[in-house]
Structure 1
């Protein structure tokens, strides 16, 4: 009996009923995920989406909505605003959260449980409940209608999820690696930068990507803090298609297709980190 045949016999196969049920669930999840995207793309190619609603194919391909998005609305300006605000806020929050998660996860101090509990409790506070204190803080700091205001808000939002994700990776790292780094003369910052960060990189990158996507799609704070049209982020672009009397649905759907492309491209680039994150942060020997 060959080695390949022996390995094939040792592999446990999924029961047929379980495999069929798994395929059904995967197909259903794929359908639910792609249904709105396909509907959106088809609608964006219609001159009047309300005249032929749903999945009815257009009589002819109408691209004026896409041309208007780039020609008249200067969508690249909004892309630049969103990239600047989301990028800087993610960089600030990830560095801040990854270091604080290292302190909470790897060191012992009084009030450690309280700090963790307070951080996790922020997951249950809706953004609308923070409207007045945050709005008042922004006005007091004289940051209203500035990109710095959004960067400050985004840097401090979603802390609990990123903290939990990164700390979970830190907990899977053997402490012997830190002790070896200390013996070699590394301080806390050097230990984090040279030992902890490379191992926990998948978790940190996932936290960064999720935070970026959340900031890219965020509309509530962007519409509340920013007034100047030239400073609006990408979601603010959608409000320009709706007035008190009519809505340009073709332009609206076309702009939505353009807006969702960067997150899709970003996921394709960093998909390998998602795959590594699903492995549970296992440490290679």
Structure 2
């Protein structure tokens, strides 16, 4: 969560425990603090652009961050937090206890941005809106080791635009990519396809929609995703993906109001239908400032 100063904190909603991450001014030189007469922060400037505008201390917390992923429980071995920020253009990390963020990747070209990131089998992975997949290994004492896993842009392969992407780590060891298309021939104007990302051959392998999740239910959104067995949780629908409101940036996703996607949705891969999981009040701006997140309570 972002606190009253727009600094990120790890928050357990069930115990109210808080663990601070580095402050937003730790994204230097991207963010610069503005201080009042008493030395307190009264606002922020973007050091990378719009330097003349001062943002109030609370506003940046609502839109500067896109997603934060942890390498493990924050209490173990100074876990790493990886954050997508600045409209998906930058990727930075910090270890629990650090005082500043370190930038690991920047997208400078127009039309692309980071769509999602995940921690999978000891490495962080991030996929861009164009389908480029990169990974980082933080296990060594030096700077993280970066690798481009899939370098080819796959956007030109499809007639329908890809409006967002997600990454999933499965219990059976596969690394999946979920592509969400704007398809006016489908109900709710959405079509979803799932690929297996073959990390050895560095290729995408298309999966049958009805078999991609092996009867499980997947959860994706602006915080860490997960896959659950519908045998252990029988009230969940098998071979379905549960979505919180996605943060959409592409302008074509809003054309003619064809994709007013707000609230929690469930997509049935077998029937190719997108439905409301339950009523929500996301409103018109739901895809610009998503409201919902997933919580996984500990039963220990």
Fold shared per TM-score above 0.5: no
TM-score by length of 1: 0.22
TM-score by length of 2: 0.22
The higher radius of gyration belongs to 1
Larger relative contact order, structure 1 or 2 (CA cutoff 8 Å, min sep 6): 1
The structure whose residues are more often strand, as a share, is 2
The structure whose residues are more often helix, as a share, is 1
